[in-house]
Amino acid sequence: MNVTTADDTTSTGQAGPLTGTTDRGTWREFFVEHAIKAAGISMIAIVGLIFFFLLREGLPTLGEVPLGALLGTRWYPIEELYGLIPLVIGSLLVTAGSVLIAVPLGLTTAIYLSEIAPQWQRDILKPLIEVLAGIPSIVLGFLGWVALAPLIQSLGAPTGLTAFTGSLVLAYMALPTIISISEDALYAVPKEYRDGALAIGATQWQAIRMVVLRAASPGLVTAVMLGIGRAIGETMAVMMVTGNAANMPAFGPAILFEPVRTMTATIAAEMGEVSQGSVHYHTLFLIGILLFIITFAINSLAGRLIGGQEQRRKRGQI
């Protein structure tokens, strides 16, 4: 159903000039049109400027620190050790953990809400999910620090401040995004598809699994992507619960139960101490560029999937 939005706007746009044919009306039309255009262009310009600023402050690192050092495994800027690998691994570990937790929970919640739950339950659950989305991340981080960390320590980890603690907090932060977008995608599947499946003898679960989920899959992937984007960029909550040790976790079953330091937490913790223009300062901006590239890639992948879905739907393939 997100197919028709483009057509809708063009048809309502044509209705505009008919209501105001006087000179004042045309002038107003001209003004509004250009104001909207200016707003749109300024948005592009702002994004461009941010990217330009990031590049200007971050790229000098590549001339100041040899690439081999940037690919090192030790991050300790006060001794000029600028290895970014533990920070990237830290961010990826925490994000991957949160996806592993949030995606199954989020998708099943969305399926329940859209396909199974009676109306009265939807009326209770949907606002509650919106409330979850509204909880400030620092509050979730604080809860994680006070309640989750001791719990994980009691499971036998040397400390409760681990990548897994961060994953849990982030999972709850990404859940509202994943639930509401995938619920929308499921809701958008026409009722006829379900009726058709049930009419030829499918059980409800078969209809969900083979028809509804398949028809909604691009929207579901988008939901997951945006959830990941939300998780990888989170800072404060992660900083409170992951221990911030720039550690190379040993590969193995306990990999998530080691402390890590994420890229975002590194920028947040160290930005205040650097003097502007120093190597450390430039390196922090380089981390910013890396983060920007990662989230940009995730967002454009999500955008491409939505686009693909629209095109296929126009050709009647879904």
Residues that bind other proteins (CB under 8 A): 1-2, 4-5, 8, 74, 76-79, 81, 86, 133, 136-138, 149-150, 153, 158-161, 177, 180-181, 184-185, 187-188, 219, 222, 226, 230, 233, 235-236, 239, 243-248, 258-259, 261, 269-270, 272-276, 278, 306
Q: Taking the complex as a whole, how short is the minimal distance between the CB of residue 2 and other proteins, in angstroms?
A: 5
Closest to other proteins by CB, 55 vs 306, is 306
Closest to other proteins by CB, 101 vs 220, is 220
Closest to other proteins by CB, 92 vs 202, is 92
Q: Taking the complex as a whole, how short is the minimal distance between the CB of residue 79 and other proteins, in angstroms?
A: 6
Closest to other proteins by CB, 95 vs 180, is 180
Closest to other proteins by CB, 126 vs 202, is 126
Q: Taking the complex as a whole, how short is the minimal distance between the CB of residue 266 and other proteins, in angstroms?
A: 10
Q: Taking the complex as a whole, how short is the minimal distance between the CB of residue 181 and other proteins, in angstroms?
A: 6
207, two tokens: 């209809």
Q: Taking the complex as a whole, how short is the minimal distance between the CB of residue 34 and other proteins, in angstroms?
A: 22
Q: Taking the complex as a whole, how short is the minimal distance between the CB of residue 52 and other proteins, in angstroms?
A: 18
Q: Of 297, 291, 293, which Cα lies nearest the Cα of 226?
A: 297
Angle among Cα 223, 227, 231 to the nearest 5 degrees reads 170
Closest to other proteins by CB, 7 vs 23, is 7
Measured N-to-C along each axis, helices 163-187 and 85-111 cross at an angle, to the nearest 10 degrees, of: 40
